[in-house]
Each structure stands twice: as structure tokens, then as C-alpha cells.
Amino acid sequence: MTQKTNNQRAWFLVLPVLALVAFSSIIPMITVVNYSFQDSFGGNEFFWVGLEWYRELLQSERLWDALGRQLLFSSIILLIEIPLGILIALSMPKKGWMASLCLVLMALPLLIPYNVVGTIWQVFARADIGLLGRAISDLGLSYNYAQNAFDAWVTVIVMDVWHWTSLVALLSYAGLRSIPNAYYQAAEIDQASRWAVFRYIELPKMSGVLIIAVLLRFMDSFMIYTEPFVLTGGGPGNATTFLSIDLVKMALGQFDLGPAAAFSLMYFLVILLISYVFYTVMISADNDGTAR
Amino acid sequence: MSLRLQGVSKSVDGEVHIHPLDLELEKGTMNVLLGPTLAGKTSLLRLMSGLDKPDSGKIYWDGKDVTRRRVQDRDVAMVYQQFVNYPSMTVYDNIASPLKMQKRSAQEIDAKVQEMAELLQLADLLHRKPSEISGGQQQRCAIARALVKDVGLVLMDEPLANLDYKLREELRIEIPRLFAASGSIFVYATTEPEEALLLGGNTATLWQGHVTQFGPSTQVYHRPADEITARVYSDPPMNFLPVRKQGGMVHFPNGQSTRATRAAAAMPDGEYRAGFRAHHLEVGGDTAGKIAFEAKLIVTELTGSDTYIHVETAGERWIGLVPGLQTFEIGQHVPLCLNPDNVFYFDQQGKLAGSTPLATQMVGA
Amino acid sequence: MASITLENLAHSYLSDPKGETDFALRELNHTWEDGHAYALLGPSGCGKTTLLNIISGLLQPTRGRVLFGEQDVTQASTAQRNIAQVFQFPVVYDTMTVGQNLAFPLSNRGMDARYIEERVQRIAQMIGLEAHLGQKARGLTADLKQKISLGRGVVRDDVNAILFDEPLTVIDPNLKWELRTQLKSLHREFGHTMIYVTHDQTEALTFAEKVVVMHEGQVLQIGTPQELFETPAHVFVGYFIGSPGMNFLPVSVEGRHAIAHGHTSALAQDYGHPQGDIMLGIRPEFTSLTKGEGLPVMIKRVQDVGRYKFVNATVFEREINIVLDAHIEIEADMTKVSFDPDKISIFSNDWRIDPASGGKL
């Protein structure tokens, strides 16, 4: 029985935050909504076009292609990072200075600014001078992320895995550490296999943090921009042009404010929708059998 | 000082925790909330404290409506099942903290802390941190912090549940003494009937968000108003069997019958459920004027001085507490008897139909 | 199944223990006989959990050996010892059904599916879980979960011992009765060696055939509930067993008389002239209020506890408790307290004197 304390006056304490949120997101968003229903000819001339931009966007292949690439990218990222993160967490030492060292090492990639990550990998993977790119080329494999679409994908994915798997690992590690010792002892007494310990003790007890990890990684990867932009600039061709890169191209590159506004609103709704579906599905799966 | 709850109710997420109830606690009384886990004890304490606001009803303190008043502005202190102390402060600073917040003078604070420490046997531990003292001492420290403020209402939510058995026993004797010294209203939630009786004062029995009965503890124990109250106030659990009253006689399922005397005499004819407590079941002995049974022995448990017997008869499982160390063979049939004066009769609605309370009543209290 | 022998067993959590006080568990020799039910009883920090962990294999003792039957298992892992354990808080596999939980120890050992099915049914029936077999373990109440842990312990018929670590801590008083009964029935049915750790004397006495009372790392007495109650070997046992515990009065003893502040109480046996700090111990149940003979008493509080009357009083400024039959009326001129001579124990330097054997127990 967890109970909340009722205290109406506490709402006043939230007011400054509400004001800040209003200025930082709600008011700009209204501007965007406004743009999305209008057309502009340079300067300050605006025309009401209704749902025209939305209709056009939904019919454009460009958006659907970008969305397809985006979904594929996020799925691959999740399929690699979640199991890998769990695996790393499981193999990390439980206590002592080794544990602290591991935690610091794991946290390092998370501390590097996004554009620096992109730059690092841009140099690191270059086929001519990069350590990794050169090594692969020297092995006799043809590799060039700037020209080959497949190579570009592999590089972007490896980069993201390098950057973000630690987050999943750290969250999983925290989840694992909170399991009381008695569970492991009981499993040993029951002669449970290592797999059974994972399947029936560790995974169920970690489910809470894993939901958070999946959600965070999904939302973040769905909005990925800086690293691929720095690395490939969305190329070769449109091979690594994900939704956000496409959006920037449209808004800043072509200065199509109206369509870009409509695009960003739809983008926002898609993320909201998919996150919501993810969340409800996972929560209900987690609660399976709990309700009496 | 008095605390009055009028039609107070509380639901959380569509689940009723407290059904509308009235309760009035007088100045300087010890009040026990007795009920099993999830009966609503904690919910009721939180309503009394002001931590939660009731969905309906009013709460009056000294005749003034305090329903909407914040817990900080009320005259209450609370002690929890977990030992809640400030971990980085010494015992002294822990006890002094409520006084410091009230901006009392250093001299007054020191005098008060010393007095409390003396009363709760913490005087030698004042310079220690909570992590350096035992669980019982930690809870004493939490109690001292609650009492030092001299508040009008002290709420205790199963304060002894996490303590060793023996410490529990000692504090059970200590708490009524502290209470007598303070003159505040004490409200004490527990799941254990014996604890309620040892604390004395009044008992409110709780069951699924209802207060089933409220009155002097011994009276509630000896004259439970209904079957649920009797169940809540019995440990070991109360034993039951179906009976029928007809023509001035009470008929028991084993064919025996007894003359309906005292309160039972006034009950209309019909079917009843008879209930009795474990220590009223007797083994062997003189059966004159008593109901005799034969029951199959399932398990015996020795406590050193007494024996608990678990028996089965006519499809009912009973627990008996008999003096001395009894050695029986498991599965053996033992002769039992029951004095009808010790039986409660409950009607079809579960209300007490007629009872024969013990001659001795209300000692101490 | 096997007996469990503790040989010169001692344990310290320090790497280099010096004196006796450095030991969480002082030297101990004892054999737990096969198929019996034992309880380890003592307050927090008395070393009972340390001893349990040594038996379960979670902890390697600093000194001494642990034998299961004839086999030395001091260095063996928990799994190798083939024991079962029920923990303080219910440990269940949340995502499995109740039935799968019970079957788990068997299926891990590659038992025949038909045997498992049959065995799970039988255990579930014995502990009242049949109705829940198909339910997920998560979301069940604490007492049902604790039943599952218990069931997982007894489902194997070849375990050497079942260890219980304060298993009723999170159970409501009313349900404790049911679980305790089932535990007893299971013990009678299967005859496992059972070791039950608790700080609650009622649980220890009602469960065990023999109770081991521990205090500050030391075993003070091993005995039947009756022995612990009637002839406590140490002052601490007298205090710890019984609710409330034994009353103590400092006295001097001469033969068949105990003298306190010039008042004499008769003793049932001749104690001679014992040396050291002498204490008279008498249980509240054998203490009575009188109008004439006995020691002067100041009654402080009387409480009707239903089954009995609880009286809190002082004798020569020492606090004593008296348990009286519910029907006894306390009258104003009951100013004395007397002790049943047969039930008095005499302690010298905290240990009981047994005149029959000519000295300490």
C-alpha cells in the first residue's frame, strides 16, 4: 500500500518549471504548428494552405524512405545494444576496486559530446588514414563508408553501439545488484543452471530497468542526428539520411518552412505514438500474472 | 484535547481502504487499532495524522475542524515500523531535532533530551550514531523523538514489529508507562491481540476498512459484538462449531445438549455459530455441566509450560491451549470438554446473540 | 538424510582473531541427529545466523569441521551439501507458476516427469497449495509465497537437512498457526532433519524437539522445551524463555533457605553454602500474591490479558512480573509475594546450581 500525500499548495512549487516549459517547448511548438498550415514566400508573406503540406508529405516517397531507414536503424540498435548491455552487466565484477574501475570505464563513452563521437569515428574509420578503416582495408576487404552504403550503415551502427551500450549495461548492472543474495542461494540449492538463474531470477528482477533502457534507447536512436551527420552527412546518397537529418535538410537546406514544420510535427507524433505503444506493451507484459 | 473522526472515508485507485467511520478518542487515552495486515490500520493512522486527506467526513481536534490542515500544522508525532532516525546525527541530536525546529532555547532542549533519554534508557548512548546501536535502541530513539515534542497525539504504526521478541516484550511494558507520563492521546496499531491486551486502554478492531467495535480493550475482548471482532481479537484463532437452539436447550453437533443459561436463554430458537477461545478447551477432567467431545489429534506444540493441541472433530479444525506438558500420540482420539459459559453464540448475520462473559472483568484497564 | 556433526567449530569475522570476544561463534561441539527438529534461539547478533550459514555452506568456519553423516563437508559448496533452505523473506521464481516453482528442484535434477507431477501434487496438497498450482507466483500473498519456498524444500525426498531462517517474520499472526502446523505435519510425514533459526521463543519451543539457546556467540543450553522452561542452565535462558521471562532476586543461600533483606523463602533442596553471586530465579507462573507469608511487594500495574492476569510489581526495588489465573481476584491486602519452592532455581555467577549432582549443571 503506497500512499501519496495530498498537498494542494505543492502545486505552487511547480509553477516556475511550468513557466520554463511553456517558454522552452510549448510556445515554440505553437509557432511550428502555425507554420505547418501556411506557406511563405521569403520575407514575411504567409498564406493559409490548410492541410496541404501534410497531404504532400504523406504522399512523398522521401518521408516514407527516411521513416523506413529510421525504423530499421532503431530495431538493429535495440537488438544489439540490449542483449549486449545485459551480457556486459552480467560479466562485470560484483564488488571491489575492479567493479569501480569497470563502472568508470563503462561510463566514459557516455561522457563524450555527440559531435566529438562523430568526429572520432569519422577519422577512426577512414579507409585511407583511420586506424580501423586502414586495418580493414589492409585485410583485403573493400571498405569505404563514404562511398559504400552498406559500409556506411555498418559504421553508423558500430558507432552507436560503442557510444550507447554502456548505458544499457549500467542500468542492467544496477538492476542486478539489487537482487537479494537469498535468490542466488535458493537457486544453487535448487541446482538451477546458469541459464535458469538468468531466465527466472535475473531477467524478471531486471525487467523494470530494462523497460527504461529500451525506451531510452528507442527514443534516442529514433532522433539520432549529430553522429551520422558528422560521419556521413546522410550519405552516400540518402543511405544514412534518417528522419532528423532529412528534416534539417528540408528546413535549413531548402528553407521549406511549411513542409518542415508539418514534418516535425508528424515526427513528434510518431515518436510519441511508438513510445507509448512500447511502454504499454512492455508494462503489461511485465505485469502479466501480477493482477489478481 | 480530543480527536473526533466523523464519517471519514478513504479510497485509493478505486479501492476502498477506509469505509465511512466515526471514532472519538479522549484526552489521555491509549487506543489500540487491532487488525490483520491490510485491514486499514495504516490508512486510518495517516488520516488521523493529516498525511492523507479523507475523501469524505471531518476530523476535529479539540472541537476544531482540522480536516484540511497540513500535518506540519497539527499537533501530532508518528512512530513507524521501520526505525526512522537521521543516520548522520547522534542519538542526542536526533532527539533534539524536533525541539530545534521549534526554536527552543539550548538549555531547555538539553533538559528535555536528558529527561527523555533517561525515560527510554538511552542516557549512555547519546553520543552514538543510529547505526552504532541495536534495533531496539534505534526504535527507542525514534520513540523519544516522537515524545519529546509534547504533542497531543502520538501515532504508532506497529512500532515493535521489527524488533526481537524479547525487546518487544520489554517495550510493551514500557510504552504504557511512557503514555501515562505524557498525558497525550496514543494510537497504537498492531496485528497482535495479546499486545492490545497488554497495552490496555481501548481497542478498535479493524477489518477490511471497517471499525467493527470500539471500547475498553478487556470489554471488546470479553464481549465481542460480532464474529469478525471475535476472530480479530483471538490468537490462537477462535474455534467454531454450528449449534441449534430449541426449547431452552442448545444442541451441539455431536448430539450433546446443554440448558441455555444466562444470555443464551434470551436468544430466539434457531441456528447459531458457537465460538470459543483456545484456552477454554479442556482435556479430560470433570465433564459435569460441560459439553464433551472426542477429537482426533493432528499436532501438538509445547511451549515449555503449556501445550497447544490442534484437533479435528466433526469436520472442524480447532486449536486448544491446555496447561502443562501433554504428550499424546498423533492421530489418537482425545477426550475434550468445554464449559458452555465460555461459548459465544453468533447469529446468521454474525452478530453476538448471547454471551456469557467471565465473572472477572475490567481489572486494571 | 544424515546426522550433522559440528566438531570444534568456531568462527570469527576478523582475519586474525585474538581473544574469545573476537569470535562471532565460540567453540562448539554438537551432533544434530538424523530426522529430528531443532531450533536455534537467541537475540539478534547471538551467532545463530552465523551457525546456520556455516551449516548451509555459505560461510567457511575459522576453525573446526562440519560432518554430514561420516562425510566431511566443511569445504563443500551449498549445492554439494544437498540441503534445502527457507529464507526470512519469501524467495520464489516470480514468472513461474506455483506448480513450476515446486517442480523446479526436481526438474533441474532430471527427474522423471511423471514422478515430478505426482510429487508436486502430493506436496501441494499437504501444504494447501492445490488451488493455486496454475497461478503465477508473483502477486500471491506473503504466506502463500512462503508456502512455496517451504514446498520447494520438502519436494526432494533426499535432502540432508532443511534449514529455516526466521521463516515466519512476514506472516500475519493468524496465518502463523497454519504454517506452523503444516511444518510439523511435514516433519512427521517426511522425517527430514530440520534446523530452525528464530528469535521468537514461541516459534522455537513449539517447533523443535530440542532447542539450542545462544547468546553472544555461545551456546548456553541445549534442551527440550520443558527443560529450558523448568531448569534453565543460565540466567539468560531463564530470562529469554517464557513470556514474560524469569524473575530474579539477589539472595544469599543457606541450605534450604534463600534470604533476601532478612526475609526467608523456603527451597525444595539443600544447596549447602554456594559461593559467588547468588540469584534466586522464579517464573512468573509460579509466583503468587498472598496476604501473609512471603516478601513485601509493591504492585504497579495489573492487566487482564484474557487467559491470565499480568501483574507488574517491585520487590526490594527489583521489577518482577506475576502471571495469575484469570479468575483470581486481587485484593488490597495482598501485600506479599511468595514463590513455589519446587520451582525455584538458584544461580551462582549466572549458572544454575543443581544440588542433586553436587554442583553446576
Q: How confident is the model over B158-196, as pLDDT tens digits?
A: 998 888 888 888 888 888 888 887 888 999 999 999 999
Are C301 and C262 a contacting pair, CB within 8 Å? no
Give residue-wise pLDDT tens across range B295-307.
Answer: 999 888 888 788 8
Among the partner residues B191, B298, B363, nearest to C304 by beta-carbon distance: B363
Give the HSE-up count for residue A117: Cα atoms under 13 Å, Cβ half-sphere: 23
Give residue-wise pLDDT tens across range B104-140.
Answer: 899 999 999 998 898 888 888 999 988 888 888 888 8
| CA geometry: angle B48, B49, B51, nearest 5 deg | 115
Assign B361 a pLDDT band (cuts: 50, 70, 90).
very low
Is the pLDDT score of A290 beyond 70?
Answer: no
CA B1 to chain C, closest CA, distance in angstroms equals 25
Among the partner residues C78, C88, C136, nearest to A189 by beta-carbon distance: C78
**Which chain B residues contact residue A12 at CB under 8 A?**
none
Q: Which chain C residue has its CA at the smallest distance from A188's CA?
A: C79
Give residue-wise pLDDT tens across range A11-69.
Answer: 788 888 888 888 888 888 888 888 888 887 666 777 787 788 888 888 888 788 888 88
C131/A contact by beta carbon, under 8 A: no
C284 versus B286: the higher-pLDDT residue is: C284
**Which chain C residues contact residue A180 at CB under 8 A?**
89, 91
CA–CA distance, A15 with B207 (Å, rounded to integer): 42
- Residue A221's nearest CA partner among A285, A275, A150, A261 is A275
Query: The C-alpha cell of B49 is what?
Result: 495524522
CA–CA distance, C282 with B320 (Å, rounded to integer): 26
Is the pLDDT score of A8 beyond 70?
Answer: no
- Residue C226's nearest CA partner among B330, B299, B306, B309 is B306
**Which chain C residues contact residue B325 at CB under 8 A?**
225-226
CB pairs under 8 A between A and B: 17
* Residues paired with C298 in a beta bridge: C314
> What pLDDT is attached to residue B276?
94
CA B356 to chain A, closest CA, distance in angstroms equals 39
- Residue C105's nearest CA partner among C85, C77, C134, C131 is C85
> What pLDDT is attached to residue C185?
86
Is the pLDDT score of A289 beyond 50?
Answer: no
A8/C contact by beta carbon, under 8 A: no
Q: Which chain B residue has its CA at the smallest distance from C304's CA?
A: B363
Query: Are the Cβ atoms of C188 and B330 closer than 8 angstroms?
Result: yes
Query: Are the Cβ atoms of C152 and A190 closer than 8 angstroms?
Result: yes
> What pLDDT is attached to residue B358?
41
Report A:143-202 residues touching C (Cβ under 8 A).
180, 182-183, 185-186, 188-193, 196, 200-201
Average pLDDT over all residues of chain B: 88
CA C175 → CA A279, C151, C169, distances in Å?
Answer: 38, 16, 11
* DSSP secondary structure, C240-265, as one string: HSSSS--EEEE-EEETTEEEETTEEE
Are C155 and C123 a contacting pair, CB within 8 Å? yes
**Which chain B residues contact residue A5 at CB under 8 A?**
51-52, 71
Arithmetic mean of pLDDT, C225-245 = 92
Are A195 and A202 a contacting pair, CB within 8 Å? no
> What pLDDT is attached to residue B354?
66
Query: Are the Cβ atoms of B17 and A1 closer than 8 angstroms?
Result: yes
- Residue B24's nearest CA partner among B54, B53, B60 is B60
Ramachandran angles phi, psi of C324, nearest 5°:
-115, 150
Query: Are the Cβ atoms of C43 and B36 closer than 8 angstroms?
Result: no
Q: Is C148 helix (H, G, I), strand (E, B) or coil?
A: helix
CA C313 from chain center: how many Å? 28
Average pLDDT over all residues of chain C: 90
Query: Are the Cβ atoms of B358 and C326 closer than 8 angstroms?
Result: yes
Is the pLDDT score of A287 beyond 80?
Answer: no
| CA geometry: angle B314, B318, B323, nearest 5 deg | 130
> What pLDDT is attached to residue B360?
35
CA–CA distance, C59 with C48 (Å, rounded to integer): 13
Q: Is A223 helix (H, G, I), strand (E, B) or coil?
A: coil
- Region of B10 please: left (phi>0), alpha (psi -120 to 50) or beta: beta
Which of the listed ranges A105-109, B26-30, B132-136, C115-119 does the model predict with the highest average pLDDT?
A: C115-119
Give residue-wise pLDDT tens across range A230-272.
Answer: 877 777 877 878 888 887 877 777 767 788 888 888 888 888 8
Give the HSE-up count for residue A34: Cα atoms under 13 Å, Cβ half-sphere: 8
CA A80 to chain C, closest CA, distance in angstroms equals 25
pTM: 0.82
> What pLDDT is attached to residue A88?
93
Q: Return the residue matching grid coordinates 512492455.
A: A282
How would you list the strands of the sheet with C308-315, edge to edge? C298-304, C308-315, C318-325
Q: Which chain C residue has its CA at the smallest distance from B280's CA?
A: C307
Helix (H) or strand (E) holding C323: strand C318-325
Is the pLDDT score of B275 beyond 90?
Answer: yes
> What pLDDT is attached to residue C1?
62
Give residue-wise pLDDT tens across range A76-128.
Answer: 999 999 999 999 999 988 888 888 898 898 888 888 888 888 888 888 888 77
Interface test with A, best of B37, B38, B41, B53 (most A CBs within 10 A): B53
Q: Is C76 helix (H, G, I), strand (E, B) or coil?
A: coil
Among the partner residues B38, B46, B71, nearest to A3 by beta-carbon distance: B46
Are C42 and C166 a contacting pair, CB within 8 Å? no
C357 versus B324: the higher-pLDDT residue is: B324
Helix (H) or strand (E) holding C309: strand C308-315
Assign C79 a pLDDT band (cuts: 50, 70, 90).
confident
* Residues paired with C299 in a beta bridge: C313
Give residue-wise pLDDT tens across range B33-71.
Answer: 999 988 999 999 999 999 999 999 999 998 899 998 888
> What pLDDT is attached to residue A277?
87
Query: Are the Cβ atoms of C91 and A186 closer than 8 angstroms?
Result: yes
Give residue-wise pLDDT tens across range C292-349.
Answer: 888 999 998 898 888 899 999 999 999 999 999 888 888 888 899 999 999 999 999 9
Query: Are the Cβ atoms of A185 and C135 closer than 8 angstroms?
Result: no
